[in-house]
Structure 1
Amino acid sequence: MVSDMRCVVIGGGPAGRAAAMELAALDMDVILVEKKLIGGTCLNEGCMVVCGLNDVARFLDDARQLSDLGVLDVECSADYRRIAGGVKRTLERIRHVTERETLDAGIEIVYGVAEFEDDRLLVEGEEMDYDRLIIATGASPLIPPIEGASKAITYRDILDLDGIPDKLVIIGGGVIAAEFAGIFSSFGSEVTVVSRSGFLSKLDPLIRDYVSEKVLSDVRILEDTSTTEIDGSGVQTSGGYIEGLPMLATGLRPNSDFLKGFLELGPRGGVKVNDRMETSRQNVYAAGDVTGGHGTTPVARMEGVVAGLNAAGIERRVDYRYLPYSISLRYDVGFVDIPGEGGREAVIPGLAGPGSFWGVNNGKTGISKVRILDDGTPSGIYSVAPGARLIMPYLSLLMRLGVSMYEFEGFVETHPSTDSIYKLMRFLSRY
């Protein structure tokens, strides 16, 4: 480990900050270059925005459910400008804490645009020397080659809407499309999702059907439907014209244009890296969405840590096995990415408990599914339940450690809980 080298990290999102914090903890001289706002897409435009809006959406759903059951006599309406303003104020406070934490770690923050000229790093036109460089510039909304695409909004525009749209047409079939469909449906919008292929196609079919039919029951979902043109009032699709505010949720594009000629990029623009997060250039590393990888904050942080440690001369390799994922809807959708199929499986309705007790009355408590091979190795873990996202990282770790799912026969749970995964594990360990 070389302690007197100068490390420059470009990008102040989850990957960049994780790398910078690791290097600072090793007493390295660290400069973090951020173009606009520290925290990256996750804090300023993505995950935290979804959290803020989804909390309100869930409250509205709960209020309506309890009113329908006669438990509460209440009517709620959403003032979107006040909601968006509250989200922005909260993000600002989190951003202040994040910046202070970064500075307190001994990291110098430089706000400005980074670019390369003749292999030299320039920040706001001034050359910046480095011994190690880490690229963590994230990604931006992918704008597909659809006529009129520039007239649609993306997740970046959500907090600047004047109000709740009467009708919203979301183009895309992935996690971003699903989350905003759930939020604005709860807010009162008439939501249509237009997916050129399958909706949430990476999910287990049983779980996907539950999400579509139970969780997003008020959302119109059109699969295998292409969008041919977008105007300010709606979209033209292969199935006809759909009126509503158009929103693009068609994926992400790595922020790597400024790296052309400096680093080797993949066919979709992601920086090519190995399992040590090394790029095509010596002493230059990359991490997070700029590599065109998995597109989640925890993975970006993991890659940032690996990049930072290797930059400091400490050998680490990234491990993508058994990654946990989640989707923020009325109930959390949690699952672990496991390659392969086959094995014995069991399914159980969600349990009554905190956050789902009143759902018993309408049969919407969630659902869980587990599939394991004969040797106890899991081949599928899925849950739709309040807090489903909380159990998946622990299961992910157990899998990485090689723990057999048969060992869940001795599992003791906390109670009350909406986690039904352990019940399926215990059942499959006995039969």
Structure 2
Amino acid sequence: MITVVGGGPAGRNAAVYMAHAGEEVRLIESGGKSGIGGQCLHYGCMLVCGLNDVARVRAQSAVLRRRGILGSLPDIDFEALVAGLSEVQGKIAEFLDKETRDAGIEIIYGKEAHVQGKTVLVDDDPHTPDHLLIATGSCPLIPDVPGIGLPGVYTSHTFSEIPSLPRRITVVGGGIMAAEFAFIFQSLGSTVDLVSRSGFLKNLDPRLREAAIRDLSGITLHEHARLVGIGGEEAAGSVRFVHEGEPEEVNCDAVFLAAGLAPRSEHISGIEKGALGEILVNGRMETSVSGVYAAGDVTGCPCLTPVARREGMVAADNILGRPCEMNYTLIPQSMNLMYEYAFARNAKTEGVSLWVPGPAGPGTFWSVPEGRTGMAKLTADPDSGEIEEICVAAPAGGIIAAYSTFLVSMGVNVHDFQKFLEVHPEADGLSSLIKYASLRFGRENLT
């Protein structure tokens, strides 16, 4: 018997894989039947996708309005939006449940599993499986400041509790999640303040960050601002922070916390953890306890769904006696604003960097006059042609970066891309940039 704790991308996919390999698998999902799919489906990727689809319609409408093509922006029924999100997420959860059961997996819903070493307790009933995979995911990181528990303070986990679109909202956080929700609220019609403890999107490539900030030009950004409290008596009414040593305060109708994720390991004991509560694993996803594996957000950053899925599969292969290790090099990532801001980089980025504005194409044509067609950037070794970094901002930036990264991981270099035949029209500047890099590096190496 193999027990998997957690029905998100890491746990569920691993469970299905092992069941199809002929193993008897039990999956424990604390969130009930509607909880299968984990953070990605209910509070992360799919939530952002649903909201961003609506936000982009309004943002694109604003571009056409500025061109005199549309007379007004579409109105948003926020209550219908929230209800619609829940309906679609429910349908996806139903499909995942059926797929999992069809694989022959026993699912235990609505029960919180407590893990003590290799022993799993459900309703104080202990059992010790042959192998155990812990994939309990993550939860929002909540700053410990006064007023944080006031009504009107929300996270991605409580988004559905927002009664109406806030007139003015303050987003707390400085990373990708904060940027995505700031864009969503801005595009839906809220006035947005964003409070970032350090530099906003500080880990993004500077050109990618510059392009992203143009999508967020309607927000008021407070960088290097340390959150000290939420003001209000019966509900949140302001956010207090310290900027350059001076106290400041911004008024708001609601606060949205997007300051990162924390591993959900509070019910795990007898297994070695890190300083933030993350379960420590090796490249085979093995924990400090023999026969116990962990995968996904509970093992710490980068907290990305494709990484969680792959970690789950690595754990599953090792459980099945097929030795393999997780590879974290050149992982593509994406941020959804007006466009998809996607990137992947090797640890070594010492080559030559080239960049171009995005071309006109589907989703960017009407943004040409404003010079907001996105961008593409490439870093490559001029001698070998090896690609070290990819950055792209485009309507399909995530797809472009994902397939390009895979080709790079297979050893394809800039010269090999000369044989690449792209689809046209497409708002993809990366393929032509890579071909240009091949020509340029070829000329330079001949002289």
TM-score normalised to structure 2 length: 0.92
**Contact 1:345/1:370 (<8 A) preserved:** yes
* Structure 1 vs Structure 2 CA RMSD: 1.4
**For 1:341 and 1:312, how far apart are their aligned partners in 2?**
37
Deviations 1:250-270 (A, max 9, x none): 11110111113x200011111
Q: Secondary structure at the match of 2:255?
A: strand
Task: Find the counterpart in structure 2 of residue 138 from structure 1.
Answer: 137
Alpha-carbon distance between aligned partners in 1 of 2:312 and 2:370, rounded to the nearest angstrom: 44
**1:82 paired residue among 80, 93, 105:** 80
CA contact (8 A) 2:58 2:74 kept: yes
Residues 410-419 or 123-132, more deviating: 123-132
Aligned to 1:180, the other structure's residue is in SS state: helix
- Distance in 2 of aligned mates of 1:335 and 1:418: 16
* Pair 118,357 (structure 1): closer, same or farther in 2 beyond 3 Å: closer
Structure 2 unmatched ranges of 5 or more? 441-447
What's the counterpart of residue 64 of structure 2?
66
Alignment of 1:317-396 (within 5 A): 317-374=325-382, 375-396=384-405
Q: Which runs of 5+ in 1 are unaligned?
A: 1-5
- Residue 11 of structure 2 corresponds to which residue in structure 1? 16
Q: Matches of 2:301 and 2:295 in 1, distance apart? A: 9
Question: TM-score, normalising length from structure 1?
Answer: 0.96
Give CA deviations for 1:30-61 in whole Å, capped at 9, x if unaligned: 00100011110110111111111110011111
Q: Which residue in 2 is equivalent to 1:190?
A: 191
Q: Partner of 1:225 in structure 2?
A: 225
Amino-acid identity (%): 39
**Aligned residue identity for 1:86:** G
Q: Are the aligned partners of 1:345 and 1:428 in contact in 2 as well (CA < 8 Å)?
A: no
Structure 1's 284 and 406: CA in aligned 2 closer, same or farther, altered over 3 A? same
SS of alignment partner, residue 106 of structure 1: coil
Q: Secondary structure of 1:417's match?
A: coil
Q: Is the 8 A contact 1:236 1:242 kept in 2?
A: yes
**Matched residues in 2 for 1:116 and 1:358: separation?**
55
SS at match of 1:76: coil
Q: Spell out, residue by residue over 1:215-234, the C-alpha distance to the aligned partner (whole angstroms, 9 max, x if none).
A: 11111222111111112111
Distance 2:193 2:89 in 1: 29
Q: CA deviation at 1:391?
A: 1.3
The aligned residue for residue 405 of structure 1 is 414
Q: Which residue of 2 aligns with 1:115?
A: 114
SS for the counterpart of 1:226 is strand
Q: Give the letter aligned to residue 409 of structure 1.
A: Q
Partner of 2:443: none
Q: Is the 8 A contact 1:325 1:337 kept in 2?
A: no
Partner of residue 175, structure 2: 174
Moved more, 110-119 or 36-45: 110-119
C-alpha distance in 2 between matches for 1:204 and 1:397: 20
1:83-136, CA deviations, whole angstroms, 9 ceiling, x for partnerless residues?
A: 000010110011001100111111111111101358631112222331000000
Report the count of equivalent residues. 424
Question: Are 1:263 and 2:271 matched, yes or no?
Answer: yes
Distance 1:221 1:369, change over 3 A: same
The code of the aligned residue for 1:211 comes to A
Shift in Å at residue 63 of structure 1? 2.1
Q: CA deviation at 1:72?
A: 3.2
Tell me the distance in 1 between the aligned counterparts of 2:37 and 2:431.
35
Cα distance in 2 for residues equivalent to 1:28 and 1:91: 29
